[in-house]
Amino acid sequence: MKKITIAIDGFSSTGKSTLAKQLANVLGYVYVDTGAMYRAVTFYAMQNNWVSENHLDKEVIISNLNHVNLKFQYNADLGFAEMYLNDTNVEQAIRTLEVSQNVSKVAEISEVRAKLVQQQQEMGKEKGVVMDGRDIGTVVFPNAELKIFMTASAETRAERRFKELTEKGQRVTFEEVLENVQQRDYIDTHRDDSPLVQAEDAIVVDNSTLSKEEQFNLVLQLVNDKI
């Protein structure tokens, strides 16, 4: 069976990573969560006080990019790869609302994008990869055999993210989460470099109305048509 590249893009909290992980496990493909990479760079910048709610030290972030070493390491118990920043596991630390509130500002920086896109292209060069993000089908792998664009209403997405965060014990309100989802979508779709747009040849999956299982079966069928 031929190996293909599967690009999954879309708005925040549309369930991209759940779908991508399921697909990668069933197909025996590598899963790459590119959002985790932008989150890890943001976490690094936050630790150094280069980004916060009201400021962004863009030039300092750029000049320190060579000190950021990102790695995914597979965790067999979890069934997916966790994010390591300079050899420290940051998988939990990068999922907080604080990181979510800063990440889109850091992801606007072209130098950050160039570095991460190059690593993503390297990770996917052998195909057999499911990669999710915002610019995978448009910039990272414009020739991907299958491109999915995921969407759902902002409320559905905020509810999902709110549940996820509170289940992990984080103290957030639904309104904060909804505001963050809407703010990230705005920045992600309006930035100059690699804005979030649907690739012309992407297939739209709106999961406001689909169960996880229906969504998975639908996309698996699309994969089977390609391999």
For the chain, state the CA radius of gyration. Answer: 17
Confirm whether residue 13 is marked as ligand binding: yes
Give least dist CB 94 to ligand C5P, A. 8
- The smaller minimum CB distance to ligand C5P, of residues 124 and 133, is found at 133
Give least dist CB 86 to ligand C5P, A. 19
- The smaller minimum CB distance to ligand C5P, of residues 73 and 224, is found at 73
Give least dist CB 149 to ligand C5P, A. 13
Confirm whether residue 211 is marked as ligand binding: no
Task: Tell me which DSSP letter residue 51 carries.
Answer: B
| Residue-wise DSSP of 163-217 | HHHHHTT----HHHHHHHHHHHHHHHHH-SSS-----TTPEEEETTSS-HHHHHH
Site residues (vs ligand C5P, CB under 6 A) = 12, 34-35, 38-39, 103-104, 107, 133-135, 184, 188
Give least dist CB 2 to ligand C5P, A. 25
Confirm whether residue 174 is marked as ligand binding: no
Confirm whether residue 14 is marked as ligand binding: yes
Q: How many residues does the chain have?
A: 227
Angle, alpha carbons 51-57-35 (nearest 5°):
50
- For residues 20-47, one letter each, b for 16 or more C-beta atoms within 10 angstroms of the residue's C-beta and e for the rest, the string is bbbbbeebebbbbbbbbbbbbbbbbbbe
Give least dist CB 124 to ligand C5P, A. 12
Q: Is 221 helix (H, G, I), strand (E, B) or coil?
A: helix
- The smaller minimum CB distance to ligand C5P, of residues 38 and 149, is found at 38
Amino acid at 84: Y
- The smaller minimum CB distance to ligand C5P, of residues 108 and 219, is found at 108
Confirm whether residue 173 is marked as ligand binding: no
- The smaller minimum CB distance to ligand C5P, of residues 91 and 217, is found at 91
Confirm whether residue 10 is marked as ligand binding: yes
Which residues are annotated binding-site positions for ATP?
10-18
